[in-house]
Amino acid sequence: MPSPFHGDRLKALRTEAGWSRAELATKIDSDARQVSRYEYNKVAPAGKCAYLPPSRPLGHAGLAHVQVR
């Protein structure tokens, strides 16, 4: 079964919030290379992660619901 995680949504929310990969990585206790891997769907986050359906409007609050650890 494919992962419900969508790296393109993570990237869209991150850029809309004005955060660099490094800034997001700091917020989730990770590193910028790992954030890049998530965004390009090379790996999916372990554990629980929020599913952001494509119809959900983007917004700063949206990124707060993405849990990657």
User: Between the CA of residue 64 and those of 2, 8, 41, 46, what are the distances in Å?
Assistant: 23, 16, 20, 17
Is residue 63 within 8 A of residue 17, CB to CB? The reply is: yes
Per-residue pLDDT of the chain (69 residues; tens, 9 = 90+): 666 788 999 999 999 999 999 999 999 889 999 999 999 999 988 765 555 445 445 444 455 555 544
Domains of the chain: 7-64 (1.10.260)
pLDDT, residue 62, reads 53
Residue 4's pLDDT is 79
